Structure 1
Amino acid sequence: MSEGPPPELVARFREALARLNPDDRRIGLAVSGGPDSMAMLLLAHAAIPGRFAVATVDHGLRPEAADECALVQAACEARGIECAVLSVSVGEGNVQAEAREVRYGALCGWADGTGLAAIATAHHADDQAETFLMRLNRGSGVAGLAGVREVNFPPNFDCRIIRPVLHFRRAELAQVVADEAVVHDPSNKDPRFDRVAIRQNLEGCDWLDPLAIARSASIVAEAYEAVEAYADLLWPQAVRSEGETYVLTPVPAREMNRRLLARVLDKLGGRPRGGDVARLLMKLEAGEGGNVAGVLARVKRGEWVLGPEPARRT
């Protein structure tokens, strides 16, 4: 084992946890074996020894997965850290989205069963900058540009996720695990993936500061929270339910109409993708109807009526 992480990084990690877990309750760490999550493990071991447990998830998608989980187990065993291996099955379809869903389900179940206050993941400032630029390049709105939150609750799960290394650089975390065995996922070098292409371009661009971009994402996240709070206030005034449908009376602020429309789609079980909500908003503003993710929308006397799309005849 190495001598341990640099003291200044341990101090920063401890300060982040004091903010994110002020009650100093026992937390769980999601560790994949990659350099970022392994660095988080070593920082936690130095900063809060005995105040955390570790879980590693085996998705069964790659032959190497079992060995990667074993690497995490060995690192924990050498330090006397409790480690659980959570095996999950990933269904067909969007494999990445499905894997994320079952991973959070397994981690939240583990945290709940062992009385952990939160689950820490190893998203860092470079991840945040890459997410921001990737979504900016796709024309994302406020919600997308808000990026990775320092604290959030994953949809459909009752557990708290914290990111104690969100303000660390990738290079700083690499310094922590310089002498440790870690997993290197070959897909992280494949430029066919949008994130990898953004990462490689950022590395060669000395006039873009990932920390500054990450700070901008944090500011956008605060703006997003304010918009959501305003949407809470507007909902009972602008939206009413009528049987299986919802009727939305447009308000002067276009962004609020976008937020309210997204919420109505969610209530009706629609799961819009990409710019679906923005495109539907433009159609409704033009007095036209449309359908998105199984939801049919139409304009009636200046109001927007949304309901389940009728079943198709066979």
Structure 2
Amino acid sequence: MDSHRPALPPAVAEVRLAVRRALAALEPGSTVVVALSGGADSLALAAAVAFEAPKLGLRAASVTVDHALQPGSDAVGDAAAAAARALGLEASVVAAEVTAGGGPEAAARDARYRALAQAARDAGATAVLTAHTLDDQAETVLLGLARGSGAASLQGMAEASDLDGIALLRPLLDVRRATTRAACAAAGLEPWDDPHNTDPRFARVRVRETVLPVLEAEIGPGIAEALARTAAQLREDAEAFDEMIDETIEDIVEHAEAGISVSVAALAANPAALRHRIIRHVVASEFHQSLTRSQTIEVARLVTDWAGQGPIDLPGCSARRIGGRLAFTAR
């Protein structure tokens, strides 16, 4: 060992280790795409992928998505691509059309993921890597808590999920945002600071700039880590519920010409948490709609508190009790 060899900065080592663990599951010869905005998180990720991918026999590229939502966004995209090429990555910039609906943050996110999926397909990639950090996870959990949308939103982001048939990997979910910035500084990389990330019009920015710092100050340090642990535990619970639903649902569901029906007796025999998940699962899989908690509970009353009530209008369908079956029919 060379005693004169400079020590690897801890932040760089931490990011590289996280990336190495994520990439190790991929087949040698595969292509991976880094979603690169030019910010500190994605730039640190790109640098780590550029270092680790060749050692694992992987081809690596970066894709920068230009939403054209800010003046000079094309120059920002070109600068990010140039930084990626300097790291040894193949790099491209793609345009993404942001359509209305769901709020500006959600619309931009949907457009970005569509563009990333298409770019990955064009590159023959098996995986897309995004630079979401532990801080992003904590913000996501808090936003889900504020919406009151149940355990599904409190699970936050998974380390691995599906993006239109392509693996979507988030290797930095255990890494703090301060670490990615330190990694960039140690490597001499100059990140771009997106002005949207400090714009209080966006709920996520208010959580980042105001809510989390107040929680840290009033309750104590470690709030972000605690929220991330909560998300991980809830994902484990959700996976267990999903397995239970898969084992149960084939025996209690019958398809009909205009919809689907579920055995009332079987639903009644299950705990409320599983009963509610089955109801939501049936509506989501058959009618591609999501139920709120209040809608779910109202449907469940057809099972647990039956008093002859009529059909319940739901998104995309209606639910009614017919004898010993709970029937969901397209509207």
Kindly state the Cα deviation for residue 263 of structure 1 after the two structures are TM-superposed: 2.3
Q: Aligned partners of 1:257, 1:52: CA distance in 2, in Å?
A: 45
* Residue in 1 that maps onto 2:241: 227
Do 1:20 and 1:151's aligned partners in 2 also have CA atoms closer than 8 Å? no
Kindly state the Cα deviation for residue 149 of structure 1 after the two structures are TM-superposed: 0.1
Do 1:20 and 1:164's aligned partners in 2 also have CA atoms closer than 8 Å? no
Q: How does 1:15-54 map to 2 (within 5 A)?
A: 15-18=20-23, 20-21=25-26, 25-49=30-54, 51-54=59-62
Which amino acid in 1 is paired with 2:13? E
* Residue in 2 that maps onto 1:140: 149
Do 2:33 and 2:128's aligned partners in 1 also have CA atoms closer than 8 Å? yes
Q: 1:90 aligns with which of 98, 109, 115?
A: 98
- Structure 1 pair 220/267, CA: closer, same or farther in 2 (3 Å)? closer
Kindly state the Cα deviation for residue 97 of structure 1 after the two structures are TM-superposed: 3.1
Q: Indicate yes or no: 2:214 matched with 1:218.
A: no
Kindly state the Cα deviation for residue 172 of structure 1 after the two structures are TM-superposed: 0.3
Q: Aligned partners of 2:259, 2:12: CA distance in 1, in Å?
A: 58
Which amino acid in 2 is paired with 1:31? L
Which amino acid in 1 is paired with 2:245? A
Q: Indicate yes or no: 2:287 matched with 1:269.
A: yes
Q: Deviations over 1:49-81 (max 9, x none)?
A: 473110111122322321221111110232332
* Residue in 1 that maps onto 2:180: 173
- Structure 1 pair 291/96, CA: closer, same or farther in 2 (3 Å)? farther
* Residue in 2 that maps onto 1:79: 87
Percent of paired sites with the same residue: 29
TM-score with structure 2 setting the length: 0.82
Q: Deviations over 1:126-148 (max 9, x none)?
A: 11111112212322322211110
Q: Aligned partners of 1:113, 1:192: CA distance in 2, in Å?
A: 35
Kindly state the Cα deviation for residue 158 of structure 1 after the two structures are TM-superposed: 1.0
Which amino acid in 2 is paired with 1:67? A
* Residue in 1 that maps onto 2:312: 290
Q: Deviations over 1:90-126 (max 9, x none)?
A: 2222343333333222222222232222100001111
- Structure 1 pair 195/92, CA: closer, same or farther in 2 (3 Å)? closer
SS of alignment partner, residue 55 of structure 1:
strand
Q: 1:105 aligns with which of 106, 114, 123?
A: 114
Structure 1 spans left out of the alignment, 5+ residues: 310-314
Q: Aligned partners of 2:106, 2:300: CA distance in 1, in Å?
A: 32
Do 2:20 and 2:52's aligned partners in 1 also have CA atoms closer than 8 Å? no
Q: Aligned partners of 1:226, 1:130: CA distance in 2, in Å?
A: 25
Paired positions, count: 302
Do 1:130 and 1:198's aligned partners in 2 also have CA atoms closer than 8 Å? yes
Q: CA RMSD in A?
A: 2.4
Do 2:19 and 2:45's aligned partners in 1 also have CA atoms closer than 8 Å? no
* Residue in 2 that maps onto 1:312: none
Q: Aligned partners of 1:115, 1:47: CA distance in 2, in Å?
A: 19
Do 1:33 and 1:182's aligned partners in 2 also have CA atoms closer than 8 Å? yes
- Counting helix residues as a fraction of each chain, which structure ranks higher? 2
Which amino acid in 2 is paired with 1:133? L
Kindly state the Cα deviation for residue 153 of structure 1 after the two structures are TM-superposed: 0.7
Kindly state the Cα deviation for residue 22 of structure 1 after the two structures are TM-superposed: 6.6
Deviates more, 1:95-104 or 1:62-71: 95-104
Structure 2 spans left out of the alignment, 5+ residues: 1-6, 303-308
Q: Indicate yes or no: 2:18 matched with 1:13.
A: yes
Kindly state the Cα deviation for residue 4 of structure 1 after the two structures are TM-superposed: 8.5
Q: 1:203 aligns with which of 203, 213, 216?
A: 213
TM-score with structure 1 setting the length: 0.86
Kindly state the Cα deviation for residue 175 of structure 1 after the two structures are TM-superposed: 0.7
Q: Indicate yes or no: 2:268 matched with 1:246.
A: no
Deviates more, 1:290-299 or 1:160-169: 290-299
